[in-house]
Structure 1
Amino acid sequence: MAMEELRSGTVRNFVGGEWTTGAGDPIPVTDPGSGESMGAVTVSTEADVDAAVAAATEAYAEWSRRPVEERVQPLFRLKALLEDHQDELATLLATEHGKTFSEAKGELRRGIENVEVACGMPTLLKQGSGIVERAAPGIDESGIRQPLGVFAAITPFNFPGMIPLWFLPHAVATGNALLLKPSERDPHTPRRIVELCEEAGIPDGVVNLVNGQADTVNAILDHPGVAGVSFVGSTPVAEHVYERAAATGKRVQAQGGAKNHVLVSDSADLAFAAEQTVSSACACAGERCLANDVICVFEDVYDDFCEQVAAAAEAQTVGYGPDDPDVGALITEEHRERVEGFVEESVDAGARLLVDGRDVVVSGHEDGVYMGPTVLADVDPAMRVAREEVFGPVVALTSVSGMDEALSVLNGSEFGNAASLFTGRGGEAQRFRREADAGNLAVNAGTAAPMAFFHFGGEKASFFGDLHAQADDAVRFYTDQTVYIERWPDA
């Protein structure tokens, strides 16, 4: 579909192999980098959700009986299609979300990696099951992983390409059917992915697309035909999803918000650490749960590091996402005002403003929603900017006496998503690995982003549930293990 058509059309639902329109009033979709319309997205009512669950339930009955080797064949084709259309998808994603073309391609590559892992489902299902011959006299015993039915994936605006692919291939390969409910802010990329699923040969009803807002989500959470829900979003909504879905007996994996830290030792390569810090905090305009934006710097190198971070931030280019600058647009004007409020409040409370990105204007895109990299120094860990998720290109620097204080600041956060340490000392790295209370840790890397064959961690208020996204955790989440005991008296 040409971009001109996207700017005037409506993203519809995909239910049982048919494109349908929800009964609710459509929601406008806007290109945040230009302020131009990108059409609208349909809104699903409770009746629309019920129809999607019915179609998925019918498809599951046949799909779950197919051999796993047969179920993964469409995923091999989907991987090839995603790669063939990667530039097209990246342009679409960068346009409707605001992130840069390179960031969009990187996001899609991460999603494709999940499809690759799910293609190995015959082996993944075997792991952890096993068989014990002669478990008792005349008895063999084994564990068998079986699908559960219809699952739902409720995905966020900040990664409209990657996050649906965290869940979709694993749910499908294990034999389940799926309802995908993407963000209403950038629905075109998920729609295109669903089109490619259809082209890859995934049967009608196995993958369904339902669009909407909070009422649509609640209809999914309450529906008795949904066996489980995967969610990524803010902590308050993740907690709501977890509680409401679990109250009706559903499985839930709910990834919440974050407040991630970088620890910079006096033994670190400061130039490298500064470059990685700015990249981590400002990539995707800071709108990602892995953004490390609170920087705890050992006091002996604090002043030097502040200067280097400021220089790295000032070197970043801000522009229209498809043109591939360093930093693209924020998602909405309301969100930019919220991020700017964090900066203003911090300065009023005593933080030093080293780099101010609030007055950035992108030539030719004056109606876009832009904010450049912003660096705050002398931030007190008690300030709101150091405690709450900003979701914008803001770096908050604070001085610490050493490793003890740095870990205390990190572990004092209510969140536990990710953290990074820059050091030249192995002892500091080992202590960080043992004592840092976060689910994704990195040493001498700016962003602790797990590969698709590891689960995506999260602790404390950053995750609600027992089994995370990706890898072995995903297989266990989308299946239940039946213990099978077999006895033949004449054997």
Structure 2
Amino acid sequence: MSTEIVGHWIDGAEVVGDSGRAADVFDPATGEVARSVALAGPAEVDRAVASAVAAFPGWRDTALARRTRILFAFRHLLDEAADEVAEVITAEHGKVVADARGEVARGLEVVEFACGIGHLLKGGHTENASTGVDVHSVRQPLGPVAVISPFNFPAMVPLWFVPIAIAAGNTVVLKPSEKDPSAALLLARLWQRAGLPDGVFTVLHGDKVAVDGLLEHPGIKAVSFVGSTPVARYVHERASAAGKRVQALGGAKNHMVVLPDADLEQTADAAVSAGFGSAGERCMAISVVVAVGPVADPLVAAIAERARSLRTGDGRRGCDMGPLVTGAHRDKVAGYVAEGQRAGATVVVDGREVAPDADGAGFFLGPTLLDHVTPDMSVYTDEIFGPVLAVVRVDTYDEALALVNANRYGNGTAIFTRDGGAARRFENEVEVGMVGVNVPVPVPVAYYSFGGWKDSLFGDTHAHGAEGVHFFTRGKVVTSRWPDTVRRGVDLGFPRND
């Protein structure tokens, strides 16, 4: 029985390519190989970029009204296909179906934002800046751009970038994770059905060969990347050296500061939801609870009670938490738990002992809670990217703030308190890009921008929102003087903007 091969999407069709290289795609809930994905070689990279380069002039000059209509059509089709996309995500990533549906919904928000691109691309105009001289500004697309997205959000992260880039007049080559590649092909087919011309959106599957090819290819003008910090730094340095515009979103170690006056039940619910949702494979997951003063003991007990009640298993069975994406990643996360225990942390809830509701040997690790974690332990310093929640105990707000600010990551953070003054002070003083007040996962809505500080972002531009539009466009200022002439002719037809 032959294994299905997931191909690239080039010039409006799925193609396997000639590299002769492929990778296994697993069903994380069973541990079995479900299909293979073609891995691009240099020839496939060149072919994908050539398609984007060829499509760019026509798409750049397509009327803004027509581009917007295609965006609206894509939005409608994606909304109709949301369940299908979610099922594909669950089959290859492992997150529960409800979580996958939420991922698609958050991606749809960015599509809806991009539908208003006409307003966002407006320039300015000054009449008679000098006598008879007018000045106006415009924003124009960059050209073919690359989007390199991670395994944990195979639909949402591409949708952070692709709709805005396309709406602004660019063409896009998407390099999704080879661990869960099929959602990208679903998006490609929806774009085609929406009326997007061939070559405007391309999917190139691959590993480091494909990534390096895109980073260095002269046809690619900008790169958007989301992934771990070491790779984000590499992408930023290599693409920048090749003269490209780069936004590279890296890793995180998100803290949730809990003050003694916080609502204990609400806080425990939030910690469990934010720590164990999507098996902790989120860059915005809460991985550290900073318990201030006397709140620590009752908070740990409340979190432990909830964590033990979670049902881990196949995400298609209505479980609370699914598997991790691969067996190697599951073993790596379990290794961190063992190392934390050896270093002196107390294992309150041990996910290594989970009995999952699933068939076969899936890649499961249950919710894990570690108490008495200290900042020198690897379970604190490293981004684990799994269902491991560490509790660090401090005596005061100032100690909690200092702990967050000393961390090399600055992606997201939250504070739980009833004290408005303390919350306002935290908003002002914390050195993190996205802050929640009694909100554990402060992912901004689409018309704001997503991104962190410090080692969580390389480049100076965040994703989607106004910053996303500016990233995928460049400004031009025109100064003009014209002789005074009179236009003649009568046209009673209603003016059109096509």
TM-score, normalised relative to structure 2: 0.95
The aligned residue for residue 6 of structure 2 is 11
Tell me the SS of whatever aligns to 2:9: strand
**1:21 counterpart = 2:16:** yes
> Aligned residue for 2:148?
154
1:233-272 equivalences in 2 (<5 Å): 233-272=227-266
Task: Kindly provide the CA deviation profile for residues 60-103 of structure 1, in whole angstroms up to 9, marking residues without a partner as x.
Answer: 11110011111121111111111111111111111110000010
Aligned AA (1:444): N
Alignment check: 8 A CA contact 1:23 1:43 kept: no
Q: Identify the match of residue 39 of structure 1 among 35, 40, 54.
A: 35
- What is the distance in 2 between the residues matched to 1:301 and 1:364? 37
Shift of residue 439, structure 1, vs aligned partner: 0.7
Q: 1:99 is matched with which residue?
A: 95
Deviation at 1:364, TM superposition (A): 3.9
Q: Which amino acid aligns with 2:55?
A: A
After TM superposition, the structure 1 = structure 2 runs for residues 17-416 of structure 1, keeping only pairs within 5 Å, are 17-24=12-19, 25-126=21-122, 129-416=123-410
1: distance between equivalents of 2:113 and 2:25? 33
> How far off its partner does 1:31 sit?
0.5
Q: More deviation in 419-428 or 344-353? A: 344-353
> Deviation digits for residues 91-129 of structure 1, max 9, x if unmatched?
111111000001000000011111111010001111xx3
Give the match's secondary structure for 1:122.
helix
Cα distance, 1:37 vs. partner? 2.2
**Cα deviation, residue 18, structure 1:** 2.6
**Is 1:428 matched up with 2:417?**
no
* Inter-partner Cα distance in structure 2 for 1:150 and 1:248: 15
Give 3-state SS (helix, strand or coil) of 2:121's partner.
helix
Q: Is contact 1:295-1:396 (8 Å) kept?
A: yes
| Residue equivalent to 2:492 | none
What's the secondary structure of 2:353's corresponding residue?
Answer: coil
Give the AA of the match of 2:441.
Answer: T
Find 2:463's aligned residue among 465, 469, 477.
469
Q: Distance in 2 between matches of 1:19 and 1:335?
A: 30
> Are 1:32 and 1:96, in contact at CA under 8 Å, matched by a contact in 2?
yes
Amino acid in the other structure paired with 1:57: V
Question: How far apart in 1 are the matches of 2:357 and 2:411?
Answer: 36
Distance 1:322 1:170 in 2: 32
**For 1:77 and 1:489, how far apart are their aligned partners in 2?**
43
8 A Cα contact 2:312 2:357, kept in partner? no
Aligned to 2:447: 453
CA deviation digits over 1:140-181, x for unaligned, max 9?
A: 112100011100000000000101111110111000100010
- Deviation, structure 1 residue 437: 1.0
Q: 1:139: how far off?
A: 1.7
| Alignment-mate amino acid for residue 73 of structure 2 | R
The secondary structure found in structure 1 opposite 2:432 is: coil
> TM-score, normalised on structure 1?
0.97
* Partner Cα separation in structure 2 for residue 363 and residue 439 of structure 1: 38
Give the distance between the partners of 1:106 and 1:323, measured in 2 at CA: 17
Structure 1 residue identity aligned to 2:149: T
Residue identity opposite 1:88 in structure 2: E
Does the residue aligned with 1:203 lie in a helix, a strand or coil? coil
Give the aligned partner of residue 491 of structure 2: none
Deviations 1:392-419 (A, max 9, x none): 1111011111110001110111010000
2:476 to 477, 482, 487: 482
Instruction: Give structure 2 stretches of 5+ with no counterpart.
Output: 486-498
Q: 1: distance between equivalents of 2:9 and 2:367?
A: 39
Is the partner of 2:389 in helix, strand or coil? strand
State the secondary structure of the residue aligned to 1:358.
Answer: helix
> Which amino acid in structure 2 is aligned with residue 91 of structure 1?
E
Is the 8 Å Cα contact of residues 85 and 183 (structure 2) preserved in structure 1?
Answer: yes
Conservation of the 8 A alpha-carbon contact between 2:311 and 2:357: no
Shift of 1:323: 1.6
Residues in 1 aligned to 2:13 and 2:357: alpha-carbon distance in whole angstroms: 42
The CA deviation string for residues 213-242 of structure 1, in whole angstroms up to 9 with x for no partner, is: 001100000000100000000001101110
Note the C-alpha offset of 1:15.
1.1
Matched residue type, 2:457: F
**How far apart are 1:490 and its partner, in Å?**
4.4
